[in-house]
Amino acid sequence: MTIYSVSTLISIVFLLIILELVRRQRLREQYSLLWIAFGVLLFIISFNVALLERFAMWLDVKYAPALLFLFGLLFCFALILHLTLVITKLSNQVLRLTQEITLMKGQEQQHEQND
């Protein structure tokens, strides 16, 4: 078995797992798109060896499968960046919710005192 067939297999299993997670609503469609795109890309590259080798030749990479790692790594960086964007947004939202709840609690207490 070559690295190409192994990675073809991996990419198929990977895609199935992603789709299953979306079906079970464990993963939001919104976030799954990135993963699906990655899975499809991985599949195309692994399946179409000639494509990868042509790429490698253009880029003057001696060992074609190294390109797979490069793509994988770049994707990981992109995904992590995406995650930190999501975290930033979420923490802003959590903060605002915390503040609103605090203000509401304060108002409630004031009403109780006035009653």
Binding site for other proteins (CB under 8 A): 92-93, 95-96, 98-103, 105-106, 110
Instruction: Find the shortest distance in angstroms from Cβ 33 to other proteins.
Output: 24
Instruction: Find the shortest distance in angstroms from Cβ 31 to other proteins.
Output: 21
Instruction: Find the shortest distance in angstroms from Cβ 78 to other proteins.
Output: 22
Closest CA to 5 of 57, 49, 55: 49
**C-beta closer to other proteins: residue 2 or 102:** 102
Closest CA to 47 of 79, 104, 4: 4
- Is the Cβ–Cβ distance between 11 and 39 less than 8 Å? yes
| Distance from C-alpha of 18 to C-alpha of 20, rounded to nearest angstrom | 5
Q: Which residue blocks in 1-115 are alpha helix, DSSP H?
A: 3-23, 29-47, 49-58, 65-114
**C-beta closer to other proteins: residue 59 or 95:** 95
Instruction: Find the shortest distance in angstroms from Cβ 90 to other proteins.
Output: 11
**C-beta closer to other proteins: residue 82 or 105:** 105
